[in-house]
Structure formats: C-alpha cells, structure tokens
C-alpha cells in the first residue's frame, strides 16, 4: 500500500465562508505503486466526477434500480436516461431538475396537460430572471 497526501481546495458552495482560500489535506491510500502521485490525485478527482454523474442519474432522473442485469439492458437504460437529460435541457434551456423531470413524466403519462407543462417551464425562466 502507498499513502499519498493531496492538498485540495474545498468546493466554494460547500463549507461556508471559513473555507475561502483555505486548503485541506486529503489522504489517499492506493496500491498503485508505479503511478506518480499527481496522476493518482487526478484519478481521484475524476472518480468524484463519475460519482456525481451517477448521483445525478439516481436522484434527478429517477434511475434508482436497473431494469435488466444484462450488460446490454443496462447500457440501453443508461442511454435512455442520458437522452432524457438532454431533452429536458433542450426543452427548458436549463439544467435538468427532479421537478422538471417529474412534470414531463406527468405530461407524457396524461396526468398533466400542455398548459401545466408550459406554466412550469415559464416559472423556471422567471426564476432565472430574478
């Protein structure tokens, strides 16, 4: 095992004012003995981007469980969720949210009409202009 200490800057939206300009030490344990420390720090940073992506899939797009255990089934479901995300972004012009996803699901299942959907999108745009 190998221990690497990486200086990180906390995310500005997390941790409040006390962290402005501050750095922290992050300790990473790895069994990659022949890889430079800088590369391991980058790998760790990208790992968290992947974790955030899957959190987004699970929480915003409602993809909490897999419909298939077959690799092709998982691939199809993931592509469908990403297409949903892109369509929401194209329709609203904003980053997809759980509420917008739910509203589109209600619209496509007949529980909401076109007027409800348009009102929701207009509210999103009015919140942006404030």
pLDDT in tens, 15-53: 555 555 566 788 888 898 899 989 988 888 788 888 888
pLDDT-based confidence at residue 128 (cuts at 50, 70, 90): low
Contact status, residue 37 vs residue 43, Cβ threshold 8 Å: no
Give CA–CA dist 130/127, Å, rounded.
Answer: 6
pTM score, two decimals?
Answer: 0.52
- Average pLDDT, whole number, for the chain? 81
Place of tokens 């529980």: 111
Q: Is the dihedral of CA 11, 15, 20, 24 positive or negative?
A: negative
Query: Coil, strand or helix: which one is 78?
Result: helix
pLDDT-based confidence at residue 112 (cuts at 50, 70, 90): very high
Q: Over the stretch 80-97, which tens digit does the pLDDT of each residue have? A: 888 888 888 887 787 788
Q: How much is the average pLDDT of 1-21?
A: 70
pLDDT at residue number 21:
56
Of 2 and 57, the one with more pLDDT: 2
Q: What is the CA radius of gyration of the chain?
A: 20
Q: How far is CA 119 from the centre of its chain?
A: 26
b/e per residue 18-47 (b: at least 16 CB within 10 A): eeeeeeeeeeeeeeeeeeeeeebbeeeeee
Of 128 and 110, the one with more pLDDT: 110
């Amino acid at each position: 095992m190998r221990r690497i200490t990486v200086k990180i800057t906390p995310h500005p939206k997390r941790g409040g004012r006390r962290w402005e300009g501050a750095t922290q030490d992050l300790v990473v344990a790895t069994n990659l003995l022949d890889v430079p420390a800088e590369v391991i720090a980058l790998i760790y940073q990208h790992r968290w981007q992947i974790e955030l992506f899957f959190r987004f899939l699970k929480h915003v797009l409602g993809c909490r469980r897999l419909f298939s255990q077959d690799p092709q089934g998982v691939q199809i479901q993931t592509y469908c969720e990403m297409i949903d995300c892109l369509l929401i972004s194209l329709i609203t012009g904003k980053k997809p949210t759980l509420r917008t996803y739910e509203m589109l699901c209600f619209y496509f299942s007949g529980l909401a009409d076109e007027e409800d959907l348009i009102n929701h999108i207009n509210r999103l745009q009015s919140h942006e202009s404030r």
